[in-house]
Amino acid sequence: MEQHPQAAGASPALPSGWQGLVADWSSDQRAFKVSWGKAMMWIFLVSDTFVFSCFLIGYMTVRISTTVPWPNVSEAFSLKIGNVSVPMLLIAIMTFILISSSGTMAMAVHFAYLRERGKAAVLMLVTALFGASFVSLQAFEWTNLIINEGVRPWGSPLGAAQFGSSFFMITGFHGLHVTAGVIYLLTVAYRLFKGRYEQSGNYQIVEIAGLYWHFVDLVWVFIFALFYLW
């Protein structure tokens, strides 16, 4: 007697071609072997990439086309230590902090997949602390430019009027992303401490949070290169 394939424990045949694609996206299955959480984070990051690209392209267009000299960024972003003015020192510290946070975030993802939730949570807290430090230094930078240098979104005594609007818009939007990322990391770290993912054994949420954080770090590299070094 011929045995039915399913009775023998064989997997049922899956539809191929367009029928398979429609079947994947019309059900709760994972399309292209990627979880919905990770897929949605990638879609969000791609859309955010377009927003930051528009901001940076607009900034470069304004800077190239302005007839008024652009401020000397080494002087505008210098940090005074006593009577000595150190160019770009504060920006270098901010960049070092944010780049270092990528390392701690990567280690958090590593320990999460090893099911060592205590180490993963601690490393996420360290990453969030780095992010909070970055935002605090950015607030200090803004305060110095507004109070001591007189820079405003609608004008700048240092040079071209577009300097203020470009600076506050781009760094402010990025700082908003860092602040949201800190809240996100703290939330996931708290859930790790409480063992919320222990029963399901699915720690992919840590990797998804890491994708967002690495994106924020990468965007800062472009801002640093185009705004502070150009």
For the chain, state the CA radius of gyration.
24
- Tell me phi and psi for residue 30, to 5 degrees: -90, 115
- Rounded Cα gap, residues 45 and 216, in angstroms: 9
What is the token pair recorded at 20?
């398979």
- Using CA of residue 131, residue 133, residue 136, residue 137, what is the dihedral sign? negative
3-state class (DSSP) for residue 8: coil
What is the token pair recorded at 230?
């150009």
Can you give the pTM of this predicted structure? 0.84
Q: Does position 3 have pLDDT exceeding 50, yes or no?
A: no
Q: Does position 110 have pLDDT exceeding 50, yes or no?
A: yes
- Tell me phi and psi for residue 81, to 5 degrees: -115, 100
pLDDT digits 0-9 by tens, 197-210 = 877 677 899 999 99
The β-bridge relationship of strands 79-81 and 84-86 is antiparallel
Indicate the range of 41-45, 85-89, 179-183 predicted with least confidence.
85-89
At 114 the pLDDT is 92
For the 69-228 domain, the top CATH level (class) is mainly alpha
Q: Does position 58 have pLDDT exceeding 60, yes or no?
A: yes
Residue 101: which H helix or E strand, with range?
Answer: helix 89-113
pLDDT digits 0-9 by tens, 26-57 = 655 555 577 888 889 999 999 999 999 999 99
80 bridge partner residues: 85
- Using CA of residue 187, residue 128, residue 37, residue 115, what is the dihedral sign? negative
* Burial of 99: CB neighbours in 10 Å, binned 0-12, 13-18, 19+: middle
> Residues 87, 94: contact at Cβ < 8 Å?
no
3-state class (DSSP) for residue 152: strand
Domain ranges of the chain: 69-228
